[in-house]
Each structure stands twice: as C-alpha cells, then as structure tokens.
Amino acid sequence: MELKEQVKAKILSLREQLEYHSRKYYVEDSPEISDYDYDMMFRELQRLEKEYPEFDSPTSPTKRVGGEALTKFEKYTHNVPLMSLQDVFSESEVEDFVKKVGETVENCPFIVERKIDGLSVALTYENGVFVSGATRGDGVVGENVTENLKTIRSIPLTLTEKIKKLVVRGEVYMPKTSFERVNASREESGEPLFANPRNAAAGSLRQLDPKLCAARGLDILVFNIQESDGMEIKSHKDGLETLRRLGFKTVDCSNVCYTSEEICEQIRLIGDSRGELSYDIDGAVVKVNDIDLRETLGYTSSVPKWAIAYKYPPETKATLLEDIVVQVGRTGVLTPNAVLTPVRLAGTTVSKATLHNIDFIRSKDIRIGDTVMVRKAGDIIPEIVEVVKSKRPIDSKEYELPKYCPSCGEPTVKEEGEAATRCVGVSCPAQLGRNIRHFVSRDAMNIEGLGEAIVNQLLENKVIYDVGDLYYLEREEVRKLERQGEKSTDKLLSSIESSKTRGLERLLFALGIRHIGEVAAYSVAKKFKTIENVMNATTESLLEIDDIGEASAKSLVSFFALPDTAKLVEKLKNAGVVTEFSERSVGISLDGLTFVITGTLPTMKRSEAEAKIKENGGSVSGSVSKKTSYLLCGEDAGSKLEKAKSLGVKIITEEQFLEMIK
C-alpha cells in the first residue's frame, strides 16, 4: 500500500474514533477514554490533515466546535456562538501563541484564569431578571435547561442592576464533596457510578425532574460576557468585576501579563493549586484582556485567535501493588481491585485502583508485588497505566481470578466473548437483594407491596436467605417491619399467595437466569412443560427452540446444574408454587400468522407483545416482507411502517391486537 493510501486510511480511522468518543463525551455523558488520550488523538488528526490537505473534509471532527445537542429538552439557538478554545500542551506552545498575537498587537495585555471542568452554559437576563439558560450543545444550538439552572443557588434570579439585556457564559460543575456524596448514594442503591464530577454535572443538569437536579448540589462559575445592552466593558478583568457586582459567582483571574514568562508562571501557580480546590479544573485559559483588541485579532472558523486553553498533563507516579482483592457486584460480576502502597496524586492519597476484569489484567500483565505507574483518569479515578517490569520480583506469578465466588463459594463462569467473570449462584449474598427485587417485579412473579425497602429489611433482619423464603413468611415477621400496618401486611401476604399460580414461564423468567428473558422463558416452558424437564434438558435439546441461542442454552444448563438451584426448586415446590406450564385460554388462533412490531406501544413492552403473539400460536419477525401478516404499530414508528404500507401489509394498533386475542 502506498504511503498516501496508508495516511488516508489513518485519517479516516481517527475521524471515526473521534466522532465516537465525542458522542460518548458530549451526548451520552459516558466517556470511555481520558481527556488526555482524546486530545492526543485529535492533535494527530490535525497534523495529518495539515500535511496532507488533499484529504481534508468539511465533516472532520477538527472542524467541529463541540458535540451534538440532545433532544430531551427544547432546542435553544445561541445568538452569539459559545466557541471552544484551541488547546495547547506545553509552555513552548504558549510562547508561540504570544508571539503570533504580537505580530498583530504589540505589547498585548493577557489574563490567565482556571479552566473549570464542567458543563458550559449561557444565562440570559432581561431588565435584570433571569429569563432563560441553555447548554452549549454544538456551540450554536444547545438545550433549554432553565428550570434546572434555577435550582443552582449561586445563579442570581435578579441582578443588582436592571441591565436591559445581558447574556453571560459560565461553567456548571459539581463540587468534590457533592460528587463523593452522590456516588456514595448511587453505590448504595446499586446504580452505576459517575466517572468524574464533570460527567456527574452534565448528567444532573439534564435531569428532566428539576428536583433531582436540585438534590445533586451543583454550582457555577461565570467567566464571560456574551452579549450586553446597557453596559460598556473595556476589558475582561473589568467585566469579571462588573459581573461580581451584579451578583454572579465568577472565576478568579490573574493580574495583567505582558510576556510569555509571566503567563507561564501563572499557569504553573494554577497547576500547583489544583489539589487544594473544592472543584476540578482541567487546565488554564489565557485570554487577551482588552475587548477591542480581541475584535482586532478575530476568529478562525471554530476558535478565537485571542485565547488558548493550556491542558495539564496527567500526573503519573510509581507505587507498589501489594495485593489484588475481588469484590462481587450486585449483578454477580467479579471485579478485581489493586491494593496499592499509598501515593499522593492530583491532591489526594491513592491506595487502590480498579483492575476492571481479567482481560485488563492480562493485557498489562499485572501481578501482585509489581511496581506500577498510577495516574488518575480525568484526574479522578485512579488507574494503572503500566507495569515497571524491571522491578518485578523473580518469583512473581501470573494472576488468576478465583474459580469460586468469594461471597458464596459457587463456581464462577466467564462466557466466550465477554470480559466479565460472574458468579451465578442463586443464593449469593452479594447478589441476593437484586435477585429478589427481580423475582417480585411485575413482569416476573408480580408480588405487590414487596418494594426495595421491605426487601432490604427482610435481608438485614435475616428473615429470608433466598427467593424461596418469601413463600414461608409468617404474618408476625412481616408485621414487625417498619411501616407495615395490618392492611399492608395482609395485602403483601395475599399477593405472595397469588403469585404461586403464575406458571412455569413466569417462574423461569423470575429466577433471573442470565440470557433468559420473557420470550425465551415462555418458549422453554412451552417445550418442556415441567421444571423437572427443564432441569434435565441438554444444550442440544434447548437449541432446538427458535428463541434459544448457544449462550442462553449454556446459561440454563449451568444454572440448573448448581446444587443451590435444586434446593431452591424443591423449596418452591413444597411451598405450593406452580412449576408446570399450562396453555392459557385464548381468543382466535394466531397459528401461521407472522407479526412485526415497530414503534413504542402504549402499555406493553415489545417483549410482552412478542410473548403474547407466541403463546397464541403466532410468530414474530424483525423485518417487514410480503410474508408479514400484520405490522403491530406504536408511536414513533420508523421505516418498517413505510415498507408495510408499500407492500400492503395490514397495520394494527395495540388495542386492535389485544382485541384479536381477547
């Protein structure tokens, strides 16, 4: 392959990766790589596009200002774009910037300030009153999040002066104390943790319920005047002082600097103070102080020529990996964690780091006793970057995850194609709360009144040890629980009793067997009729079922091979739980009819509709063709609806479908 073809392939690959990670960062608030890694990838693309202009493209990520606006909120068009800044990573690049400005403006005054790591927003005031606020979005179109911004107490709802019109730009962030509190709460409730305070701030500001946003403890620092009518500002420093006078909480800035040496000294001072701040910063911003000179210098298509953002490199230090301990999560995933000799990083002491999974450990060849290089991803989450193999002990051994669950002692499994190693024990203490909540859920055994708080009390008081114990609860045991009166106790016990007749198909789904959803559970129950037959089923016999793939079949066989599963099944049967499948009385037969489902149905999940079609003898397809009998159509239907119309396929609503099987 010629050099130019290799370069073209590299450019296309970088663009694809950057678009993906940009979406994860800006749209989904779930970054997968550090800012530093993203920046290095971005700069590599910039370099290649500059050296090979024939491969330039108007759709390249280097031409974009930011990410896309979401559609959860009303769209908001910024009158003055919220532009991004050119990033630099060394003091020599700062010097180059100052020299370039000096070619147009002699003895130019600069200001240096912290670059807050949060979510950029614009706040609009009319006659001194806060009227709207929006996220940056792609710089031109953002999201109207006015009601959520109103919950941030440091945003003034009325200014100290009645300015005719004022639009300011600020950075919404989550203080470190709020971040720790929110993540502790999410961990306790089994929710995924936020990766860093910026991620948490973005997710919080996009909550549809302002009350949830208010509970997150967000804050803001204002750093720019976007528009003003009724104010005359000559310099950035004067502008910040005016904003403070009007009631805003603003960023701090340096004294005026005239040389690159003075600027770099301020950048170093800000960097040294990072660990002492109550919030995160991801760099320092260098700006021309004089507003008129900014207009003289102008803009490129995506960034101002009068400002840059200096990005600090992540701090990396060596320490000893003393041990690897394994935690069992609520979904049964075994997560190895490194126990480190404490080391100071980015202002805090680090003594542990997640090792994710066995594939991560193997890829870096991490072993107990190794000296490892550690940094904080996004300056928050400790991670091991590499092993210093020259310092590895002679007798070190390759690390292996335990073959038996540390929590319950059952065998662990790692399925092909998956990174996670799991415990599948039905009575694993680490998973028990989650398993019970699934078992009692509406689509499973549908036991009303058995919410999370009641389940937690039953577990904490050691009243139950698995889902089977629910059917042996005594009235007095339930009555002793908090907030359980006579009526609520009777209702709960009655619901438990009623759930015994749900049938084999609901029971199989309720057991929470990996890869077995509602449709698969129904198909297995219909074929094997009794739970004993299911327990004796082979992988081969399960694969004869249309809805069962290899992963599902292996999961079922493994689950029913566990000794604890046999004990649980016996307990359920002795309690009177129905473990047999029985055909339900149905309306017209759907035998020979093929359905395709599209859009969002009013009351049913797609899986529920599929199950109803199959239990009435019909079949379900994923695509519309001439062989399709009916298109079951909900709201926001896509291309399937148009294709059905073109082929003359009969289109029915959920109401019409339910009437068919009534």
User: Could you report the per-residue pLDDT of 103-158, keeping only the tens digit for each?
Assistant: 999 999 999 999 999 999 999 999 999 999 999 988 999 999 998 998 888 898 88
Report which of 72, 88, 190 is spatially closest to residue 142, judged by C-alpha positions: 72
Same domain for 156 and 282: yes
In a domain, 220, yes or no: yes
Same domain for 603 and 548: no
Same domain for 222 and 138: yes
In a domain, 408, yes or no: no
Higher pLDDT, 324 or 232: 324
Structure tokens at 407: 């929590």
Interval 409-437 mean pLDDT: 80
Domain assignment of residue 19, given as a range: 3-63
Mean pLDDT of the chain: 86
Options 50, 63, 72, 115, the catalytic residue: 115
In a domain, 476, yes or no: yes
Structure tokens at 122: 């614009």
pLDDT digits (tens, 9 = 90+) for 333-380: 888 999 999 987 765 678 999 898 888 999 999 999 999 999 876 556
Q: Which residue has the tokens 């002082």?
A: 241
Residue 662 pLDDT exceeds 70: no
Give the domain CATH number at 342: 2.40.50.140
115 noted as active-site residue? yes
In a domain, 414, yes or no: no
Rounded CA separation 382/48 (Å): 32
Rounded CA separation 266/176 (Å): 24
Same domain for 463 and 351: no
Higher pLDDT, 600 or 483: 600
For the whole model, what pTM was predicted? 0.53
Q: Give the list of residues 6+ apart from residue 419 with CB closer than 8 angstroms, or none.
A: 356, 357, 358, 359, 360
Give the domain CATH number at 644: 3.40.50.10190
| pLDDT class of 587 with cuts at 50, 70, 90 | very low
In a domain, 69, yes or no: no
Domain stop point among 342, 358, 391: 391
pLDDT digits (tens, 9 = 90+) for 54-63: 888 766 777 6
pLDDT value, residue 586: 42
Residue 615 pLDDT exceeds 70: yes
Same domain for 196 and 150: yes
Domain stop point among 63, 86, 110: 63
Same domain for 346 and 291: no
pLDDT value, residue 67: 47
Rounded CA separation 147/170 (Å): 16
Same domain for 484 and 450: yes
Interval 254-270 mean pLDDT: 95
pLDDT digits (tens, 9 = 90+) for 486-525: 888 888 898 999 899 888 988 999 998 888 888 788 889 9
Domain stop point among 37, 63, 89: 63
Interval 460-471 mean pLDDT: 88
Residue 71 pLDDT exceeds 90: no
| pLDDT class of 37 with cuts at 50, 70, 90 | confident
Task: Tell me which range, 62-71, 165-174, 245-254, is most confidently predicted by mean pLDDT.
Answer: 165-174
Give the domain CATH number at 49: 1.10.287.610
Same domain for 110 and 246: yes
In a domain, 297, yes or no: yes
Same domain for 508 and 473: yes
Count of domains forming the chain: 5
In a domain, 454, yes or no: yes
Same domain for 299 and 359: no
